[in-house]
Amino acid sequence: MNTRIGTLSTLAATALLSACQTAPVQTAPVQTAAPPTSPEVVGEFRKGTGYLNGYIDRKELPDSLALVPPPPALGSARQAADLQQHQQTRALRNTPRWEYAFKDVNLKFPEAAGVFSCALDMPISQEATPHLNMLLRRSLVDAGFATYRAKDHYNRKRPFAELGETTCAPKEEAHLSKDGAYPSGHAALGWAWGLILAGLAPDKANALVQRGHAFGDSRMVCGVHWQSDLEAGRVVGAAAVARLQADPVFQAQAQLAKAEIAAARAKGLKSDRTDCAAEAAALKR
């Protein structure tokens, strides 16, 4: 019996070795198409909005209702802290920080592509860095939409609506008065963008994450969010980035965006914005 088993084992090993020796050699990895950089190919999530489809199906986005606690209760210490912080930021009205809060309102591309240009110290655009541009444009929807389960559930009033004030963006007020404040979509988005870019350019991580934080703070300066809205938004933004790491299209586009950053640096390209020093000074508030 042992002799038969040994013989069979030898024959099997010989056949396997023969198959390995005669199998065709894989000379190159299978090529796959690069993620699209064309807005027309990616498509809008709602026609006419200019906002493109994200990477993640909406059913698979992080559940903000499960991730963040309820907003501060009426009469609580946290609510009092929110009100105090809001009142302090009223002193920034009509200052350079107020102006940058207004600029940070705009989420439409190509304008929004330049938000991190100073922090990254290079141009960001559809023409100069198509994969980086698309990475920001699509993740905008993922991070922003991830806030809506909690937003719709709590339907928290925004500071300007609660207190009868005006904001840095009067044209937004009618819409925002009907849209829940908690968590902040802008804060989720700014934090997500900062974390994504920090992963692509770790040598600029501090500046990029700081700019992402300031992007959220702009909403409090503008008068459309409370401090606790921003804190909850950043939790959701971080969760969205974590979820994106498992998406193969996002990962492929991120690698191509990283190559674009390296190529821009090799060419010695710098930010094409002329207000980088002014932005840095204003955001210190």
Q: Which residue(s) pair with 44 in the sheet?
A: 52
Angstrom distance (rounded) from CA 68 to CA 242: 16
**Which of 97, 131, 156, 186 is an active site residue?**
186
Is 272 a catalytic site residue? no
Catalytic one of 131, 229, 234, 247: 229
Q: Is 247 tagged catalytic?
A: no
Task: Let me know if 219 is a catalytic residue.
Answer: yes
Q: Which of 219, 234, 243, 247 is catalytic?
A: 219
Q: With contact defined as beta carbons under 8 Å apart, do 212 and 264 qualify?
A: no
Q: Residue 210 CB: number of other CB atoms within 10 A?
A: 16
Gap between the Cα atoms of 172 and 219, Å rounded: 12
Q: Look at residue 44 and give its three-state secondary structure.
A: strand
Q: Omega of the bond prior to 70 within 30 degrees of 0, cis?
A: no
Please check whether residue 117 is in contact with residue 263, taking contact to mean a CB–CB distance below 8 angstroms: no
Long-range contacts of range 168-177, CB-CB < 8 Å, 24 or more positions apart? 168/93, 168/98, 168/101, 168/102, 168/105, 168/221, 168/222, 168/223, 169/102, 169/105, 169/222, 169/224, 172/105, 172/224, 176/224
- What is the distance between the alpha carbons of residues 256 and 284, in angstroms, rounded to a whole number? 33
Annotated active-site residue 229? The verdict is yes
Catalytic residue among 97, 158, 225, 234: 225
The residues annotated as belonging to the active site are 186, 219, 225, 229
